[in-house]
Structure formats: structure tokens, C-alpha cells
């Protein structure tokens, strides 16, 4: 497998997925749903809300992306598809490890998930060619670290993850709306 990044491939990704903004928004809303479930119904159900909701982020964001007039797919020859798929494998492993932490120490689940999701956004910086993904990824990792070291209540930690993503979704939507594709 030869992976070479080009601006044309990144431009195709940005156009196809509206700079990733729909996925960021859907992910942020899943985090907020998990925070609300945690507050109202408890930690165990909130973990499943984030994990099951997380599994639905891509299909829901594809629907949203297509609804705003973008194809939500790139050509098979785009090498960035392989990069994103590799990051999906890391994401699944990170989710499994976060769930293992939940079984040992429930309060560690949301900080671990923020670090996992933040790490994936660092990869999206290359896939989309947008520095905002570095900032968002680092913000999630820093938020997870703060939640861990300052012992945030789980609902607060989940809410922080959601807030970070929703705020960044706004900025990415704005940038994608004004950018020439």
C-alpha cells in the first residue's frame, strides 16, 4: 500500500464530506446525549449511549451531508480513504480500552474517550488538510486530561466533550460554507 497525500485528495475529501462538519456536529450531539443520560439515568446507560451513538455517527453524518448536497464519498483511488480507515481501527481499539477502563474505574471512561476521539481528529488534519482538526484534537485531549486530573463528574466530562465538538462544528461549518470547493 502506497499512501501519498495530495492537495487534490484533500480537496476531494473536503468537498465530499463538507469539511467533516456534519460528522463533528453529530459526534458532539452524541456526547451531549451521553451527558444527559449520565445525569438523568446513570453512568452505565451513558456509556452505552456514547458507544452505540458513536457507532451511528458515520451513517447519520452521511445522511446529513447528502441532505446539504454533498456526495459523502470520495473516489476509490483517493489514498486518504485508507488513512481514515486505519484511524477507524485505532478508534475501535480505543473504545474497547475505554470500556475496559469503565469496568475498572467508571470515572475514567469519558476522559479516555475524549483522548481517543481527539487523537482521531489529529489524523483528520491530514485527511482534510485543515489545521482546525489539530486544534480540535488537542482540545479534546486536553479536556480529557483535565477531566481526569481534576476528577470531573462523569456527566460534566461527557458534557465537556460535547461542548468542544459542537463549538468546533460551528466553526468548521462556517469555514466550509465560505470556502471555494
| DSSP code of residue 152 | -
DSSP secondary structure letters along 45-99: HHHHHHHHHHHTHHHHHHHHHHHTT--S---TT-THHHHHHHHHHHHHHHHHHHH
Q: What pLDDT does residue 85 have? A: 87
Report percent pLDDT > 90 for the chain. Answer: 82
Query: Apex CA 15: angle with CA 14 and CA 21, to 5°?
Result: 55
Flag whether pLDDT at 13 surpasses 80: yes
pLDDT at 111 over 90: yes
Does 39 reside within a domain?
Answer: yes
| Domain-embedded: residue 3 | no
Lowest-pLDDT choice from 50-54, 86-90, 122-126, 176-180 = 176-180
Quick check: 180 pLDDT over 60?
Answer: no
In a domain, 97, yes or no: yes
**Size (the chain), residues:** 181
Q: How many CB atoms lie within 10 A of CB 173?
A: 18
Residue 62 covered by a domain: yes
Domain count, the chain: 1
pLDDT, mean of residues 41-67: 97
Q: How many CA atoms lie within 13 A of 176 on its CB side?
A: 28
Structural domain includes residue 2: no
Q: What is the pLDDT of residue 174?
A: 94
pLDDT at 7: 86
Provide the residue range defining the domain that includes 103: 10-72+80-178
Cα–Cα dist 28/25, whole Å: 5
- pLDDT at 120 exceeding the cut of 90: yes
Averaged confidence pLDDT in the chain: 94
Q: Give the C-alpha separation, 112 to 154, whole Å.
A: 11
pTM greater than 0.85: yes
CB burial of 40-70 (b: ≥16 within 10 Å; e: otherwise) equals eeebeebbebbbebbeebeebbbebbeeeeb
Amino acid at each position: 500500500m502506497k499512501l501519498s497525500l495530495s492537495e487534490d485528495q484533500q480537496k476531494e475529501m473536503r468537498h465530499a464530506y463538507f469539511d467533516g462538519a456534519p460528522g463533528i456536529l453529530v459526534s458532539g450531539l452524541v456526547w451531549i446525549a451521553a451527558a444527559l443520560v449520565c445525569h438523568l439515568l446513570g453512568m452505565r446507560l451513558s456509556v452505552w449511549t456514547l458507544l452505540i451513538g458513536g457507532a451511528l455517527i458515520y451513517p447519520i453524518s452521511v445522511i446529513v451531508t447528502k441532505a446539504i448536497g454533498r456526495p459523502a464519498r470520495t473516489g476509490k483511488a483517493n489514498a486518504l480513504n485508507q488513512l481514515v480507515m486505519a484511524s477507524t481501527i485505532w478508534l475501535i481499539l480505543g473504545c474497547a480500552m475505554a470500556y475496559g477502563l469503565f469496568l475498572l474505574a467508571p470515572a475514567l471512561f469519558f476522559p479516555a474517550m475524549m483522548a481517543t476521539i481527539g487523537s482521531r481528529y489529529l489524523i483528520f488534519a491530514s485527511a482534510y488538510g485543515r489545521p482546525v482538526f489539530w486544534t480540535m484534537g488537542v482540545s479534546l485531549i486536553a479536556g480529557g486530561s483535565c477531566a481526569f486530573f481534576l476528577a470531573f463528574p462523569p456527566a460534566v466530562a461527557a458534557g465537556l466533550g460535547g461542548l468542544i465538538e459542537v463549538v468546533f462544528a460551528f466553526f468548521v461549518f462556517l469555514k466550509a460554507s465560505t470556502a471555494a470547493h
